[in-house]
């Protein structure tokens, strides 16, 4: 009779049901909790995300019930050098040695970082387990500038994640003002930083291909210095920025010319070769015709060397070439061959005009130029090297797709080629800005962690 009363008790039934639900909720939850960075603290803010409310409630109930495990996360501070996991993802029942790569790619995390975040995994992914949570977004906790002192003078402490997120290169202190975060002044943090915009007035290929902005001016001259005016922005001295030189191409122009055999010296591959285009009159409707100058000799560095030697000799000497000799009597270029040239996939865009000019006049070095139009479909060994998106995805897709991470849906890959080495990781991944949906998550994580974190689309995680 007593047993019958127990079974029919509404209060006891409700209590048992509550305990079972609580137990189920706790076991099912196993994800990294977001961290609210405050100066000098690493307090976990459980109220920031809706899914965590259930966990917090379940933990509160469970602590009053013996035998039921709690889900209260550890509040121990994450120290510099330790793994700071921001998101975990559970594997399915089907796992193999490709799963590690698939997880890394899905969330925009490099393979190396994925294994760093999951040190128990073997390098060949052979011991990955089904139904197991793995860290897919995270970083190695950097030294945070909780005291407001940042940058090289202060052991490389970062302002990212603190109350003031821009490291001012003039004072090496953290700040949030427009002046602190301005390109050319912001050393690191919530900005592209010194790796993209020089904070000491240096720029160009001599200084890591950095650009000029802010108080330093908007032009980088061939000496690798930032400034304004003709000495920096002039047609023959400017290598990047708001240069006065602007190519004027016509994709459907026709030209008829006659030229004898010409000779140019190429040092692109470290050897000297003779370039002898066929002497003939050629009419073509496919070669690009640039506006030529009075340059008769020029030079370039690296892969530009041979291209600049050839093109500058015939009056086409754009940045990144440097004209070293001018003449009142320009040298006529060789006859057009009818062959268009393109920069090899993954190389900077300024190879395009140079390759188009040189290839269309008989000189087409295969290590930097190609006569085949850029690939628009994937092939073995190639990854995305250029892509596009719309709206808030525009900048993210342009940046991420160039380095091989081009998630379909938000982005559309427009060109494939060899992997382009991305900028170094900043250990400051991002997430979607408030109001944006989860489709921004992987893009923001990848872009912010490589130095590009566009406001309005992303925020630092």
Q: What is the reported pLDDT for 149? A: 97
The answer to whether residue 152 sits within a structural domain is no
The answer to whether residue 20 sits within a structural domain is no
Q: Are residues 305 and 261 in the same domain?
A: yes
Q: Are residues 344 and 262 in the same domain?
A: yes
Domain that holds residue 287: 255-370
Identify the residue with better confidence: 380 or 7: 380
Longest alpha-carbon distance in the chain: 117
**Could you give the angle at the alpha carbon of 214 between the alpha carbons of 211 and 216, nearest 5°?**
70
**Average pLDDT of 92-116?**
90
Instruction: Give the chain's mean pLDDT.
Output: 75
DSSP 207: G
pLDDT reading at 258 higher than 80: no
Q: Are residues 359 and 392 in the same domain?
A: no
Alpha-carbon distance of 174 to 163, in angstroms, equals 9
Strand bridging mode 369-370 / 383-388: unpaired
Q: Are residues 59 and 136 in the same domain?
A: no
pLDDT in tens, 326-345: 988 888 888 888 888 888 87
The answer to whether residue 167 sits within a structural domain is no
* Total Cβ atoms within 10 A of residue 375: 15
Extract the tokens encoding 320: 């990144």
The answer to whether residue 404 sits within a structural domain is yes
Check the CA dihedral 348-396-405-341 and report its sign: negative
Q: Are residues 50 and 125 in the same domain?
A: no
Alpha-carbon distance of 33 to 46, in angstroms, equals 7
Q: Are residues 261 and 355 in the same domain?
A: yes
136-146: burial string, b at 16+ Cβ within 10 Å, e else? bbbbebbebbb
Beta strand ranges found along 156-249 (DSSP E): 166-168, 173-175, 186-189, 219-221, 226-227, 238-241
pLDDT in tens, 359-392: 988 899 988 898 888 777 777 777 888 888 888 8
Alpha-carbon distance of 355 to 340, in angstroms, equals 8
Q: Are residues 270 and 365 in the same domain?
A: yes
The mean-pLDDT minimum among 29-43, 260-274, 434-448 falls in 260-274
The answer to whether residue 331 sits within a structural domain is yes
Q: How confident is the model at residue 242 (pLDDT cuts 50, 70, 90)?
A: confident
Q: Are residues 405 and 347 in the same domain?
A: no
Strand bridging mode 226-227 / 219-221: antiparallel
Q: Are residues 68 and 97 in the same domain?
A: no
pLDDT in tens, 162-213: 999 999 999 999 999 999 999 999 999 989 899 889 999 999 878 888 899 9
Identify the residue with better confidence: 425 or 173: 173
CB 145 within 8 A of CB 160: no
* Helical axes 50-62 vs 10-28, angle rounded to 10°: 120
Q: Are residues 308 and 270 in the same domain?
A: yes
Number of compact structural domains in the chain: 4
User: Which of 342, 370, 398 is the last residue in one of the domains?
Assistant: 370
Nearest residue to 246 via CA among 228, 234, 263: 234
CB 27 within 8 A of CB 55: no
Q: What is the reported pLDDT for 281? A: 31
The answer to whether residue 397 sits within a structural domain is yes
Nearest residue to 356 via CA among 301, 279, 290, 297: 290
Bond prior to 320 in cis (omega within 30° of 0): yes
The answer to whether residue 148 sits within a structural domain is no
Alpha-carbon distance of 252 to 400, in angstroms, equals 33
Beta strand ranges found along 365-424 (DSSP E): 369-370, 383-388, 412-417
Extract the tokens encoding 449: 């962690």
Return all residues near 97 (Cβ < 8 A) that are at least 6 apart. 124, 125, 126, 128
The answer to whether residue 118 sits within a structural domain is yes
Alpha-carbon distance of 191 to 251, in angstroms, equals 38
């Amino acid at each position: 009779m007593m047993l019958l009363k127990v079974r029919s008790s509404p209060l006891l039934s409700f209590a048992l049901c509550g305990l079972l639900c609580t137990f189920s909720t706790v076991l099912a939850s196993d994800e990294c909790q977001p961290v609210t960075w405050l100066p000098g603290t690493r307090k976990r803010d459980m109220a920031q995300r809706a899914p965590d409310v259930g966990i917090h409630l379940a933990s509160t109930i469970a602590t009053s019930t013996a035998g039921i495990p709690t889900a209260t996360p550890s509040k121990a501070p994450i120290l510099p050098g330790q793994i700071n996991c921001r998101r975990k993802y559970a594997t399915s029942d089907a796992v193999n040695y490709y799963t590690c790569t698939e997880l890394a790619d899905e969330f925009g995390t490099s393979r190396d970082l994925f294994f760093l975040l999951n040190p128990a995994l073997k390098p060949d992914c052979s011991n990955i387990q089904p139904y197991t949570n793995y860290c897919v977004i995270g970083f190695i906790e950097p030294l945070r500038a909780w005291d407001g002192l940042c940058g090289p003078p202060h052991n490389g402490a970062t302002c990212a994640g603190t109350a003031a997120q821009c490291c001012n290169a003039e004072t090496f202190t953290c700040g949030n003002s427009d002046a602190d975060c301005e390109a050319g002044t912001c050393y690191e943090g919530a900005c592209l930083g010194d790796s993209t915009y020089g904070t000491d007035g240096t720029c160009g290929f001599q200084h890591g291909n950095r650009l000029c902005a802010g108080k330093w001016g908007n032009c980088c001259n061939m000496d690798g210095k930032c400034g304004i005016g003709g000495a920096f922005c002039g047609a023959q001295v400017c290598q990047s920025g708001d240069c006065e030189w602007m190519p004027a191409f016509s994709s459907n122009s026709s030209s008829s010319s006659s030229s004898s055999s010409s000779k140019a010296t190429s040092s692109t591959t470290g050897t000297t070769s003779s370039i002898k285009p066929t002497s003939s009159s050629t009419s073509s409707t496919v070669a690009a015709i640039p506006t030529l100058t009075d340059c008769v000799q020029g030079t370039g560095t690296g892969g530009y060397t041979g291209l600049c030697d050839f093109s500058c000799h015939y009056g086409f000497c754009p940045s990144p070439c440097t004209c070293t000799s001018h003449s009142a009597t320009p040298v006529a270029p060789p006859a057009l061959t009818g062959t268009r040239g393109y920069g090899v996939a993954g190389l900077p865009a300024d190879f395009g005009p140079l390759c188009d000019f040189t290839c269309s006049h008989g000189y087409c070095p295969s290590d930097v130029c190609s006569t085949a139009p850029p690939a628009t479909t994937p092939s073995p060994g190639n990854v995305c090297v250029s892509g596009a998106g719309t709206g808030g995805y525009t900048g993210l897709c342009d940046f991420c797709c160039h380095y091989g991470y081009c998630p379909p849906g938000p982005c559309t890959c427009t060109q494939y080629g060899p992997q382009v080495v991305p900028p170094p990781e900043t250990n400051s991944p991002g997430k979607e800005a408030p109001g944006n949906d989860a489709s921004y998550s992987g893009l923001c994580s990848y872009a912010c962690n490589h130095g590009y974190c566009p406001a309005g689309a992303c925020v630092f995680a």
